Amino acid sequence: MDETIKIGISHSFLEFQKEEWNPLVPSDSPFQEYEFLVGLEETGCIAKNDWFPVLVSAKQEGKLLGVLPTYLRKDSYGEYIFDFQWANAFHRAGIPYYPKLTVAVPFTPVTGSRILLHPSCSDVTKQELAEKMLEVLRNFGKEENVSSIHLLFCKKEEQALSGRLGFAPRLSHQYHWFNKGFDNFEEFLGTLVKERRKSIRSERKKIGESGLSIETITGNSISESHADLFYEFYSDTHSKKWGQPYLNRKFFFRMVETFRHRLLLVLAKKPNGDPIGGSWNVYRDGFLFGRYWGALEYVPNLHFECCYYRLIDFAIEHKMERVEAGAQGEHKFLRGYETVPMYSSHYIYNEQGRSAIEAYLEKEILMEQENIAAYNAHSPIKSLREG
């Protein structure tokens, strides 16, 4: 690697500038953009909540060429690639599992680049930078006496690259919707088996007959009042399912202020105009990510309409490539979302622990491959069943 390239470690996103950071972020990774990450830090959603930034960066003559956004963790909440069993096994063996290092987007189970590299770099330079930053992170972890490093929801090529440095691969799955060049929602429905087409049409018809009005809101049409409203939706749903919400009200206001150009809100209202529920989503170019959902009252099928169907409508209208609707969700599978592999990589410092976890992961990968194939063999998407 060029000796003029310097690798350093920072502990705040505020040590960087938006103008130098964002050119490193590819279109399919909007949650790695400066505004989103700084928003998490400045509103106290990370660091205080146990996501302490460890930002490995590469610079050449002051130009930012690469960043590896990482977090020092004292638990595993908000990661969505679960390692609680590993932590318990370490504890039973009398070996500390925390702290650990996690390379991910806090509270955000979405795919994307975990190693950010400037597009002007050659492929050779990109690989050298990525390997060097991972090596620096690995050395930092050893000095800090962490148990492990975890790259979560990374790209397949990042998993392969980290594997050359001793990281063990892991496989899980999510459900994503892919645009096959559809002109409208009905054309998409035509790719599904008959019973699913009928069921989805029925769900959308019932919402249409419910008297609710549903609007899609983007850009300058998003106001501070939406931030307040959608925080209420989010906090109500999160408290019912998981307890204390990860994000605070300030964060939603900050996103409306600085990240509005990436937001897509789907808002449902009663006939009298009172808001009842909706979804908060993020998009960039050909990629749309469903994130937060909530409703003040239960309305049958409203979740499907706001979180799945309206996003598909938007993606078709804007010729988008993919819709990701977050972790979990058999409901997505039944509504035309494909089962796709999720990649992660894990470096375990303790030799005994590494051997046990790698043996487990080998078996888990085989099981996940079988699960993905089995899901798609029973998919409502006719081409997957036939393929």
Per-residue pLDDT reduced to its tens digit, 147-173: 999 999 999 999 999 999 999 999 999
Q: Which two tokens stand for residue 191?
A: 């790719």
Number of domains in the chain: 2
Instruction: Give residue 329's pLDDT.
Output: 73
- CA angle 121/125/126 to nearest 5° reads 75
Residue 275 CB neighbour total at 10 angstroms: 17
Is 298 contained in some domain?
yes
Query: What pLDDT shows up at residue 98?
Result: 97
Question: How many angstroms separate the CA atoms of 240 and 238, rounded?
Answer: 5
Type of residue found at 316: I
pLDDT at residue 239 in the model: 56
- The reported pLDDT for the residue numbered 245 is 84
d(CA 38, CA 270): 35
Q: Which residues of the chain carry a pLDDT beneath 70?
A: 49, 237-243, 387
Could you tell me which of 115, 103, 106 has the C-alpha nearest to residue 157?
A: 115
Cβ–Cβ < 8 Å for 55, 38: no
Exposure string over 14-36, b if 16+ CB within 10 A, otherwise e: eebeeebbeebbbebbbbbbbbb
Residue 78 lies in domain: 5-173+340-377
Angle at 155 between CA 76 and CA 280, to 5 degrees: 65
Predicted TM-score (pTM) of this structure: 0.96
pLDDT computed for residue 130 by the predictor? 98
At 179, the amino acid letter reads N
Cis peptide before 30 (omega within 30 of 0): no
Within a domain: 334: no
Nearest to 365 by CA among 341, 347, 340: 341
The answer to whether residues 313 and 370 belong to one domain is: no
Same domain, 136 and 185: no
The CATH number linked to 223 is 3.40.630.30
pLDDT computed for residue 242 by the predictor: 55
Residue 6 has φ and ψ, to the nearest 5°, of -110, 130
> 383 lies in a domain?
no
> How large is the C-alpha radius of gyration of the chain?
22
Q: What pLDDT sits at residue 313?
A: 98
CA atoms in the 13 A half-sphere facing the CB of 278: 25
Phi, psi of 227 (to 5 degrees): -60, -45
C-alpha to C-alpha distance for 226 and 214, rounded to whole angstroms: 14
Residue 139 sits in the same domain as residue 224: no
Please report, for residues 147, 203, 206, 260, 296, the alpha-carbon distance to residue 271 in angstroms, rounded to integers and kept in the order given.
55, 19, 15, 27, 15
Same domain, 40 and 150: yes
CA distance 373 to 174: 13
Distance CA 114, CA 102 (A): 10
Q: Is residue 255 situated within a structural domain?
A: yes
- Asked if residue 246 and residue 192 are part of one domain, the reply reads yes
pLDDT score of 385: 86
